[in-house]
């Protein structure tokens, strides 16, 4: 297999052909499955469904496999989450063993899954998990569309998100981010809700839907608006699908009990671990201060070339569906109209979620990929209903073809450079270590604690060391611009430092926070920390402007 990957990476055109072939096969099958009854029956069977969704996952893997071998973090967020996961194997109590800042503990726990199979946690395993979560969200979208409309429309539904996730090159879109788990849980919430509606609102499916929604804010707090409006959709479905008070109360009870269960368990663990106050100050209060600091331009949602044109297409299809709904209201059924309204509400929640932090991180746009695809799918469903004629299959085929072509054209509209990650495999196989990693490895063993002052969590990963304090990054200990709890975070850092007595201390502050004025943010700018370091540690080396200190008497 390695030889095959090396052969593929050796030529850009060869890689492009293999990467994009499954995507075009997927898109072709989506159109053929709408126009041909025989193909529709074959693809709509259980085996056909599994094969189609497997092809969707294969399309992602064929396009994204080079990113698995990038040795460096594609974004510091994935290094932070992975560093927390490595430490959580030893201390899983949230906000005590680790603090993910605006990302909740579930975003860390999901990265620990390879350890169940005796595997180390690496950037490769982390990006594989990102692909699995994307594939799972796409499968959940398929389930929603199939249960609400039909399998033909469900196959069309997945074309847009698969196209985006397969063809995107921007590192913010291909690294593991805090959005991935929330995206998956949001679509899972809707899928469970659709199953519940199909099965007489069985309590276990409503409970499962509530659990998935309740987990979202503890994966990433930013997803709370999306979770809230998704739950609002679930409540509306229960209200309109229930005809007596007793059944309604039972169904609401199942949903609400599922909704509160994840938070109750996590907060109970924090209570037992003595970190409930840290949850409130760090996760809630500081996050609220964070979103008051800046503003995003309204154009943020559509300005990125890899996402904006695709989003415009999906919104356009949704708008066409709205026009068709108004013009041919009588030809649509109540479930079709309800599904359209629900999809629009969920998309509104996604847009609210993107703009809530008032900052322009491109990975926030991931929140809109699946909801926009769901809204476009609902628009197509209403449009198909409005165009019911004797030549229905032909009309559906024309609309499906136009939709697929528009999606593929939108994602390929900008000048696409050569895929930037093709050289990653050769670098990965070389086994070379960067100077800072080599310096740390010469003095510390994997499993020992290392404290890092600065924003370089990758060194926890490359040396497999544990967090010396609960903070993988010292962002909140450094900048008071949007942080009224600076003193709290600094006191906590010092307290953790004294309690954990890390074997090593890495001063990366001057190489993390301000590249123009070297030395301004070295550990000496934190007097209480400087006192501990100068007293208990000795300078062991310096590489790339980063200083390593080792505890006196260590080794």
Q: What are 83-125's pLDDT values in tens digits?
A: 999 999 999 999 999 999 889 999 999 999 999 999 999 999 9
Q: Quick one: pLDDT at residue 517? A: 47
pLDDT at position 518:
46
Q: Give every CB contact of residue 553 below 8 A, 6+ residues apart in sequence.
A: none
- DSSP run (H or E) holding 549: strand 546-551
266 vs 412, which has greater pLDDT?
Answer: 266
Residue 59 has pLDDT above 80, yes or no: yes
pLDDT tens figures, 516-547? 444 567 888 899 999 999 999 999 999 988 99
**pLDDT for res 44:** 87
In the numeric block, which tokens belong to residue 555?
């080794």
The pair of three-digit structure tokens given for residue 535, joined into one six-digit string: 């007293």
- Alpha carbon distances (Å) from 389 to 151, 331, 384, 385, 502: 19, 11, 10, 9, 72
DSSP state of 99: B
Q: How far apart are CA 226 and CA 231, in angstroms?
A: 9
Judged against a pLDDT cut of 90, whether residue 491 lies above it is answered with yes
List the structure tokens of 158. Answer: 């997945």
- Show the tokens assigned to 166: 């397969």
Share of the chain above pLDDT 70, in %: 95
For residue 323, is pLDDT > 80?
Answer: yes
Lookup: tokens for 517: 């004025």
Q: Are the C-beta atoms of 368 and 347 separated by less than 8 Å?
A: yes
Across residues 460-488, what is the average pLDDT?
Answer: 88
pLDDT for position 495 = 97
The secondary structure of residue 275, as a DSSP letter, is -
For the chain, what's the residue count? Answer: 555
Q: Which of 37-41, 142-146, 212-216 has the lowest mean pLDDT?
A: 37-41
Measure Cα distances from 314 to 292, 394, 395, 462 in Å. 31, 22, 19, 40
Task: Name the pTM for this structure.
Answer: 0.94
User: Residues of the chain with pLDDT > 90: what percent?
Assistant: 67
> What is the rounded distance in angstroms from the CA atom of residue 479 to the CA atom of residue 248?
50
Residue 230: closest CA among 244, 211, 247: 211
**Could you read off the pLDDT of 140-179 as tens digits, one per residue?**
999 999 999 999 999 999 999 999 999 999 889 999 999 9
Angle between helices 37-44 and 12-35 (to 10 degrees): 110
pLDDT at 390 over 70: no
Mean pLDDT, the chain, as a whole number?
90
Is 90 exceeded by the pLDDT of residue 357? Answer: no
- pLDDT score, position 482: 66
**Beta pairing partners, 260:** none
Q: pLDDT tier at 515 (50, 70, 90 boundaries)?
A: very low
- Residue 253 makes CB contacts below 8 A (sequence gap 6+) with 203
Residue 392 pLDDT: 66
> What gap in Å lies between CA 461 and CA 483, rounded to an integer?
27
- Residue 245 pLDDT > 90: no
Terminal CA-to-CA distance of the chain, rounded, Å? 41
φ, ψ for residue 538 (rounded to 5)? -125, 145
């Amino acid at each position: 297999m390695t030889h095959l990957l090396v052969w593929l990476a050796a030529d850009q055109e060869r890689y492009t052909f293999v990467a994009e072939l499954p995507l075009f096969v997927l898109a072709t099958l989506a159109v053929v499955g709408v126009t041909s009854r025989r193909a529709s029956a074959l693809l709509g069977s259980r085996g056909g469904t599994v094969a189609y969704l497997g092809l969707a996952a294969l399309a992602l893997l064929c396009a994204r496999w080079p990113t698995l071998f990038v040795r460096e973090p594609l974004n510091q967020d994935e290094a932070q989450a992975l560093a927390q996961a490595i430490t959580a194997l030893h201390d899983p109590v949230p906000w005590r063993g680790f603090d993910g800042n605006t990302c909740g503990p579930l975003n860390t726990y999901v990265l620990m899954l390879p350890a169940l199979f005796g595997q180390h946690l690496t950037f490769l395993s982390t990006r594989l998990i990102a692909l699995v979560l994307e594939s799972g969200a796409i499968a959940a979208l398929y389930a929603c569309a199939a249960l609400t409309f039909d399998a033909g429309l469900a196959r069309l539904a997945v074309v847009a998100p698969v196209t985006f996730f397969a063809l995107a090159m921007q590192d913010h879109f291909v690294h593991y981010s805090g959005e991935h788990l929330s995206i998956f849980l949001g679509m899972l919430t809707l899928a469970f809700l659709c199953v519940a509606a199909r099965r007489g609102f069985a309590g276990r499916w409503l409970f499962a839907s509530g659990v998935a929604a309740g987990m979202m804010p503890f994966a990433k707090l930013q997803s709370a608006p999306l979770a809230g409006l998704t739950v609002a959709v679930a409540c509306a479905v229960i209200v309109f699908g229930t005809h007596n008070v007793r059944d309604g109360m039972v169904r609401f009870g199942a949903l609400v009990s599922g909704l509160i269960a994840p938070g109750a368990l996590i907060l109970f663990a924090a209570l037992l671990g003595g970190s409930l106050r840290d949850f409130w100050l760090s996760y809630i209060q500081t996050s609220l201060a964070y979103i008051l600091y800046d503003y995003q331009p309204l154009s943020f949602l559509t300005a990125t070339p890899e996402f904006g044109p695709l989003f415009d297409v999906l919104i356009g299809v949704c708008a066409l569906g709205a026009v068709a709904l108004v013009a041919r209201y009588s030809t649509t059924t109540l479930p079709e109209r309800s599904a359209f309204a629900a999809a629009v509400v969920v998309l509104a929640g996604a847009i609210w979620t993107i703009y809530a932090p008032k900052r322009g991180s491109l990975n926030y746009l991931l929140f809109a990929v699946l909801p926009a695809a769901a809204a476009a799918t609902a628009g197509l469903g209403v449009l198909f209903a409005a165009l019911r004629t004797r030549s229905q299959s032909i009309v559906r085929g024309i609309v499906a073809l136009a939709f697929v072509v528009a999606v593929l054209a939108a994602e390929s509209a900008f000048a696409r450079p050569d895929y930037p990650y093709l050289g990653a495999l050769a670098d990965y196989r070389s086994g070379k270590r960067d100077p800072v990693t080599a310096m740390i490895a010469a003095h510390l063993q994997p499993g020992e604690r290392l404290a890092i002052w600065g924003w370089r969590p990758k060194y926890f990963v490359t040396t497999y060391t544990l967090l010396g304090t609960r903070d993988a990054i010292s962002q909140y200990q450094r900048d008071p611009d949007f942080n009224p709890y600076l003193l709290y975070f600094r006191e906590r850092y010092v307290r953790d430092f004294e309690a954990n007595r890390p074997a090593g201390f890495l001063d990366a502050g001057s190489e993390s926070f301000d590249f123009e004025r070297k030395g301004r943010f070295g550990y000496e700018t934190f007097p209480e920390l400087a006192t501990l370091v100068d007293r208990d540690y000795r300078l062991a080396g310096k590489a790339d402007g980063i200083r390593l200190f080792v505890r006196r008497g260590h080794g």
